[in-house]
Structures are given as structure tokens and as C-alpha cells.
Amino acid sequence: MDNPNPDDNPDPELEDTLQLHEDEEIIEVIELEDTPQSPDALADELEDVCVADDDDDDGWQTEDELMESEQDDSELTLSRHTGSVFCVRLDPLTNSLAMSGGEDDRAFLWRVCDGEVLLECTGHKDSVVCVGFSSDSALAASGDMSGVIRVWSVEKREEVWSAEVGDLEWLEWHPCAPVLLAGVADGSVWMWKLPSGACRTFQSPGCQTTCGRILPDGKRAIVGYEDGSLRLWDLKQGTAIYVIKGQDGHRGALTCVSSNQEGALLLSGSVDGQAKLISSSSGKVLCSFSSQTSEGSGSAQDSNSVESVGFCNVLPLAAVAYLDGTLAIYDLNTHTLRHQCKHEVGVVQLQWEAESAVVCTCSLSGVLSLWDARSGVLVSEFHGHSAEILDFVLNREASVAVTAGGDHKAKVFCLQRPDR
């Protein structure tokens, strides 16, 4: 056979020992040393080995890249945040504008239809954890963890008022007036009339306030505290109408409060794993819903915090979302459990559709889920976030959801369903 490399002269003895087939050829002859190499010599030879660049990974993907390559059902993504997005709200008048706040100490006012940023809200000292619009959508507020609250004119796209209080826990606009409430870590609640800034404070009971909600009548606000108590405040008089504590109160910090559409019923949730149904007029606890109703013992209940609560507008139903991934649907007439909707991981938040018995949830898996509360059946799921969804909001028609994620993104989802 012809030598493919005529300039090379391999050892004749080596050639004699090779039995080549007719279609084979010698590519390279490697001489083996009789004495073993020292570690230093071996290291020197390895330095000469050519290793491919990291960019040329032959199709290998990191875990983050794999998550990002999964399906994305969203219609639009806002990627202006450089940290986790903690909160998002829609303007109540048109539902066409969104405001999001995040770990990067910024909030953005942007259009839902195309994601165009209309205003970058700067001047915060810490993560922006609360955002929201006034009832007429004329004003927008952003609040950070350190207690800096800034109010912006939506039309003029400029700051019109600001204040600084203690560490901020929650922020809530009045349902029909340019009035803003804020709960802070020292337990006090502040109320401002804007843009004048006229202020009233509601006295601290000596412990942190953790959540609050203005009732639909606009005259009262229910506030939850770290010691497990609840207070219903008269906003005009500045006094507590009643206090729910002790045996009637929770055994741990409040995490969430809600009221039904008429404001006659309240629902509170706590780290103690219980949700309490309360008459807003009398303060009487009508029923306690417990995670122990599902599976597990009292010790499991103690660690199974209630993360979100809400009332259905069209049927006498309430939903309670638990940290263990259970969405429980309760019958308000019989005070019994109707359905348990299971998530693989903890539920972060729930919201009922305004005109149906469908409840929407977001979870630590980054999935948005729609559940039919009448049957307990999962209607549909929407993927797109590569980390947990930390907040979301539905528009009036429940045709669009805007989400805030730990992946530094806010997304817009079109919630198509067979009945639409």
C-alpha cells in the first residue's frame, strides 16, 4: 500500500507488526515511552492541549438557559428591571397602563399593549415593594421598603408629592377618592389626601402592621398586625371600631385580608395556617378555615401559612391559598370545604375573575393557573417566567394578566379560554 505521507519514515519493525486492511491507512504513529512520565512533565503536556472556548458548548445548556428555553405563553415582556419584580398593578380606569416595582429601587409606568415605558420612577432608596393607581387613574404611587413613598401624575409623567415614613409594609389607595393609606413597621397607619398631603395617623397597638384593606364603603379599613390581632378603623374619626384578638384572633402574624363585594364579610389569613371569616359590622368571627381540613396534622398546620384570600363575586364561595401549594375553595353558606386544587409548590397569590367562578393563582414555580371553583378542575396554565411569580393582576374582563417575576421580568398574558 502507498504511504500517504511519503516524507515520513516509520520504524520498519513497527510496520511489520501492523496488519492493515486494504482500505486503512496510517494517520499518526505515537511512540510509547518505556519510563513513566513525572507529574510535572504530564502537566506540561496537558497545558498544550487545545480546549474549546466556553462559547462553543456543542449544545450544552446551563440550568438557567434550559429554563429560559422553555415555552413562553406571554404576549409581551418588560425587561427594563435589573432585579426581581415584586409588585404590579393596572390603572383602574382603562386597564391600559401598568406600574411595576422591583429590587432595583425603581418603578416603571408602561403601556400594556406594547410595553412602552412612559415613566421611570426614580428617587427610591430601597426595593420598590408597593405600587398602585388612584381610583381615577390620575395618580400613581410607588413605595419602597425604607418608607419612601412617591406619587406621580400619570398625565404629566412627573412627581407631584412624596413622603418618608418608617419601613413600609403595605400601601393602599382609597376606592373612590385621592386618598392613600400606608402601613409601617412600627404599627402605625398613615393616611394622606393628595396632592395636598393633608395627613392623619392611626395609632400603633405596639406591634407591626402587616396588611390592610379599605372596605368598599370607603369609610372603614381592616388592618392586620404581627401579634395576630385585627382592627377595623373608622377613617373619618381615626378611631378603632373594634379589635379582634386573643381567642378570636390569630395565633400568628396576619398575612392577608380581603372583603367581599358588598363589604359585609371579611376574610383574614395568617402564618398560623388559619383563615377567619368575619362579620364586618359586628366583628364576630363566623368561622375558621384551617389547613388541617386538608391533609396533615397540627404540626403541619403550624408551618402552612395562608398566603392569599379572596371572595367570589358570583357565588357564595371563598378561596384560600396555602404555602404548601393547596388552593382551598370553601362554601360560605355551609362553611365547608368544597375543593382542594393542588399546586406542585407554594401559592403566592390568588385573584377571582370579576364575573365568573374562576380563580387565578400564581406560584413559586413561575406558572399562572386558572381553576374552575365549581368543579375544582384546572382550566388552563400559562408559562413564561423562569423564576417564581411574585405578584399578578387581572384586568376587568379577566382576558389579560400582568405578572411580576423573580426573573427580573414583568409579562403580559392573554388568557384565552374555550368559553371566551
Sequence-separated (6 or more) residues with CB below 8 Å from residue 213: 172, 221, 222, 257, 258, 259
Q: Enter the C-alpha cell of residue 243.
A: 379589635
Nearest alpha-carbon partner for 140 in 183, 187, 92: 92
**Residue 358 counted as domain residue:** no
- CATH number of the domain residue 135 falls in: 2.130.10.10
For the beta sheet containing 179-184, the strands, ordered from the edge strand earlier in sequence to the opposite edge, are 168-173, 179-184, 189-193, 198-202
Cα(404)–Cα(306) distance, rounded to whole angstroms?
A: 20
For residues 123-134, average pLDDT:
98
Residue 90 banded pLDDT, cuts 50, 70, 90: very high
Q: What percentage of residues in the chain have a pLDDT greater than 90?
A: 79
**Residue 158 counted as domain residue:** yes
**Residue 97 counted as domain residue:** yes
Mean pLDDT score of the chain: 87
Residue 23 banded pLDDT, cuts 50, 70, 90: low
- How do strand 336-342 and strand 76-78 relate by DSSP bridges? unpaired
**Residue 96 counted as domain residue:** yes
| Per-residue pLDDT at 27 | 52
- How do strand 410-414 and strand 400-405 relate by DSSP bridges? antiparallel
**Residue 220 counted as domain residue:** no
The three-class DSSP label of residue 64 is: helix
**Residue 420 counted as domain residue:** no
**For residue 125, pLDDT beyond 70:** yes
Nearest alpha-carbon partner for 262 in 203, 328, 175: 175
Sequence-separated (6 or more) residues with CB below 8 Å from residue 210: 169, 170, 183, 224, 225, 226, 253, 254, 255
Q: What is the pLDDT of residues 45-88, one digit of tens each?
A: 544 544 444 444 444 444 454 444 478 999 999 999 999 999 99
| Per-residue pLDDT at 378 | 97
Residue type, 340: Q
Q: Are 206 and 194 in contact (CB under 8 A)?
A: no
The structure's pTM equals: 0.82
**Residue 159 counted as domain residue:** yes
Residue 44 banded pLDDT, cuts 50, 70, 90: low
Q: Which domain holds residue 186?
A: 83-204
| Per-residue pLDDT at 40 | 59
Q: Enter the C-alpha cell of residue 286.
A: 363566623
Q: How many domains does the structure of the chain reveal?
A: 1
Q: Are 90 and 98 in contact (CB under 8 A)?
A: yes
Q: What is the pLDDT of residues 263-314, one digit of tens each?
A: 999 999 999 999 999 999 999 999 999 876 544 444 444 579 999 999 999 9
Residue with cell 389547613: 291
**For residue 20, pLDDT beyond 90:** no
**Residue 199 counted as domain residue:** yes
